[in-house]
DNA sequence: ATTCCACTAGCGCGCTCGGG
DNA sequence: CCCGAGCGCGCTAGTGGAAT
C-alpha cells in the first residue's frame, strides 16, 4: 500500500499512526541516543533495576544493558514503554535502527563525503585508496599496528592535536552533524559559515530536536572514522580494520556523559559550541538541563587511560 | 537451499521558492 | 496570487554477500 501522508490525521487509523510515530522515534533514538543496542531483544525484555547507577554503566555487559534500558525509559513516551517487551517492538527497533544506520552511512560517505572531507569521489570509492589516504587520520598507530580511538586527527579541531579540549571539534565533525540532522545541503552552509536548515524540513525539525546530545556527537565521530576507513560495511566489528566500532561509540558516549556530569569544561564548551551553531536561541541546552541532578564527582581522566 | 544482513537506486510525497 | 521546478525526506524493492 502507498503512503498516505496526504490524508488528514482523522482518516488515518490510529493504529497506523501509533506505529508511524514509533518508527520515527526509533530513528531519532538511533541518531541522537544510541546508534547500536547491545543484545536488543534481551534489553527490551529486561526490567529496570532500581539499584542501577549511571556511574557504573560501562563496567560490565549487564550494567551496559541496564544503561540501555534506562536510556529507553527516559526517551520513549509511556504508551510505548508499556509494550516494550513485545515482538512488534523488537522487530521495529531492529529494522528501523538498521535502516537509519544504512541511510546515514550512505549519506556521509557517498553523498556528502567529498564536501565533508575535502577529497575526491575516487578517494572515497575504493577501500584500498581510503586505507592508503586516511588511515593515519582515523587513528592508525604504525608502531602498535592498531587503530586508536582517541588519537585521530580527523576528530580534532586544529588538525593534529591530541588534547582533549579539541576533540569532536573538527570541521568534518560539524559538517557530518549538519549532514545528518539538517540535510545534505547543510554541509555547504557550514562550509560557508552560514546558518543551517532554517525554513527547510529537516530531520532536526521532524524529530523536534532542541539541543545537541551525547549520542549524536558520538555517532558523528564513528561515522566519520568509518567513512574514511577501509571497511565496506558498517558493522559492530569492522571486517577489515578490526575496529570495534560499537565499543568505540560507547567510549565516546562515556566520555561525553561523564564530562557533562562532572561539568568538565571542555565537554560543556563542546555542547555549547554545537548548540550555538545548530540550535541557536534555545536556552534548554543539554548541559543546563542535565546538571541539576548531579552528585559527587570523581575527577575524570579518560583520555589518558584510553583503551578499556 | 534458505534466510538474514548491510547497503543502494530510485520513487513519490510534501515542502519551499521564485517567476509570471 | 498561483504554478511548477527542485529539493530533502522516508520508503520500497532489489543486490550481493554471509551465515546456517
Is A5 inside any structural domain?
A: no
- Tell whether the model's pLDDT for residue A128 goes beyond 90: no
Nucleotide nearest to A205 (CA to C1'): C9
Nucleotide nearest to A23 (CA to C1'): C10
Question: Which residues constitute the domain of residue A137?
Answer: 14-305
| pLDDT at residue number A218 | 92
| pLDDT at residue number A144 | 87
Distance CA A162, CA A58 (A): 24
Task: For residue A202, give the DSSP letter.
Answer: -
Least confident of A68-77, A184-193, A246-255, A281-290: A281-290
| Contact residues for A263 (Cβ-Cβ < 8 A; gap 6+) | A287, A291, A294, A297
Nucleotide nearest to A184 (CA to C1'): C8
Mean pLDDT score of chain A? 78
Which residues get their CB within 7 angstroms of nucleic chain C? A 3, 20, 23, 27, 96, 99, 103, 182-185, 200-203, 206
- Tell whether the model's pLDDT for residue A138 goes beyond 70: yes
Task: Over range A202-225, report the average pLDDT.
Answer: 86
Chain C: positions less than 7 Å from a protein CB are 7-12
Least confident of A20-24, A114-118, A180-184, A294-298: A294-298
- The count of domains in chain A is 1
Distance CA A172, CA A156 (A): 9
Task: Over range A147-171, report the average pLDDT.
Answer: 77
Which residues get their CB within 7 angstroms of nucleic chain B? A 2-3, 5-6, 94, 98, 101-103, 105-106, 109-110, 199-201, 232-236
Distance CA A124, CA A137 (A): 14
Is A4 inside any structural domain?
A: no
Is A257 inside any structural domain?
A: yes
Q: Are A149 and A139 in contact, with CB atoms under 8 Å apart?
A: yes
Higher local confidence (pLDDT), A3 or A211: A211
Helix, strand or coil, per DSSP, at residue A141: strand
Least confident of A31-45, A54-68, A186-200: A186-200
Nucleotide nearest to A198 (CA to C1'): B16
Q: Are A65 and A43 in contact, with CB atoms under 8 Å apart?
A: yes
From the CA of A112, how many Å to the C1' of B8?
A: 15
Angle between helices A265-278 and A171-182 (to 10 degrees): 50
Helix, strand or coil, per DSSP, at residue A264: coil
Helix, strand or coil, per DSSP, at residue A38: coil
Distance of CA A12 to the CA centre of its chain: 32
Distance CA A165, CA A270 (A): 8
pLDDT tens digit sequence for A78-106: 888 888 888 778 878 888 888 888 888 88
**Cα–Cα distances in angstroms (integers) from residue A156 to residues A16, A174, A270, in the given order:** 44, 11, 12
Does residue A159 come out as left (phi exceeding 0), alpha (psi in the -120 to 50 range) or beta?
left
Task: Over range A140-159, report the average pLDDT.
Answer: 83
- Percent of chain A at pLDDT > 90 equals 14
| pLDDT at residue number A299 | 29
CB-CB neighbours of A244 under 10 Å: 15
From the CA of A17, how many Å to the C1' of C20?
A: 37
Closest CA to A23 of A84, A92, A118: A92
**How many residues would you count in chain A?**
308
Distance CA A192, CA A186 (A): 10
Is A3 inside any structural domain?
A: no
From the CA of A5, how many Å to the C1' of C1?
A: 26
Distance CA A165, CA A171 (A): 15
Least confident of A17-26, A82-91, A100-109, A190-199: A190-199
Is A221 inside any structural domain?
A: yes
Higher local confidence (pLDDT), A291 or A30: A30
Chain B: positions less than 7 Å from a protein CB are 5-9, 12-17
pLDDT tens digit sequence for A214-272: 999 999 999 999 989 888 888 888 888 888 888 899 999 999 999 999 999 989 999 99
Is A291 inside any structural domain?
A: yes
Amino acid at each position: 500500500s502507498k503512503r498516505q501522508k496526504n490524508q488528514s490525521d482523522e482518516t488515518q487509523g490510529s493504529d497506523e499512526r501509533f506505529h508511524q510515530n514509533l518508527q520515527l522515534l526509533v530513528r531519532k533514538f538511533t541518531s541522537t541516543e544510541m546508534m547500536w543496542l547491545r543484545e536488543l531483544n534481551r534489553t527490551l525484555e529486561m526490567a529496570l533495576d532500581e539499584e542501577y547507577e549511571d556511574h557504573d554503566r560501562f563496567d560490565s555487559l549487564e550494567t551496559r544493558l541496564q544503561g540501555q534500558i534506562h536510556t529507553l525509559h527516559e526517551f520513549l513516551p509511556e504508551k510505548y514503554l508499556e509494550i516494550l517487551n513485545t515482538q512488534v517492538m523488537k522487530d521495529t527497533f531492529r529494522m528501523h535502527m538498521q535502516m537509519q544506520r544504512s541511510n546515514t552511512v550512505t549519506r556521509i560517505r557517498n553523498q556528502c563525503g567529498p564536501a565533508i572531507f575535502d577529497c575526491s569521489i575516487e578517494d572515497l570509492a575504493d577501500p584500498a585508496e581510503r586505507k592508503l589516504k586516511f588511515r593515519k587520520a582515523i587513528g592508525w598507530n604504525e608502531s602498535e599496528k592498531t587503530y586508536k580511538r582517541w588519537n585521530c586527527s580527523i576528530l580534532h579541531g586544529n588538525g593534529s592535536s591530541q588534547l582533549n579540549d579539541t576533540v569532536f571539534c573538527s570541521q568534518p565533525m560539524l559538517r557530518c552533524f549538519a549532514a545528518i540532522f539538517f540535510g545534505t545541503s547543510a554541509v555547504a552552509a557550514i562550509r560557508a559559515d552560514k546558518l543551517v536548515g532554517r525554513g527547510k524540513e529537516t530531520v532536526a525539525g521532524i524529530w523536534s530536536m532542541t539541543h545537541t546530545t551525547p549520542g549524536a556527537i558520538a555517532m558523528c565521530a564513528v561515522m566519520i572514522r568509518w567513512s574514511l576507513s577501509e571497511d565496506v560495511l558498517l558493522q559492530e566489528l569492522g571486517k577489515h580494520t578490526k575496529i570495534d566500532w560499537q565499543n568505540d561509540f560507547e567510549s565516546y558516549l562515556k566520555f561525553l556523559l561523564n564530562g557533562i556530569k562532572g561539568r568538565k569544561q571542555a565537554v560543556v564548551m563542546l555542547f555549547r559550541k554545537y548548540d550555538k551553531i545548530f540550535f541557536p536561541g534555545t536556552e534548554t541546552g543539554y548541559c543546563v538541563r542535565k546538571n541539576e541532578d548531579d552528585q559527587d564527582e570523581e575527577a575524570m581522566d579518560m583520555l589518558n587511560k584510553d583503551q578499556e
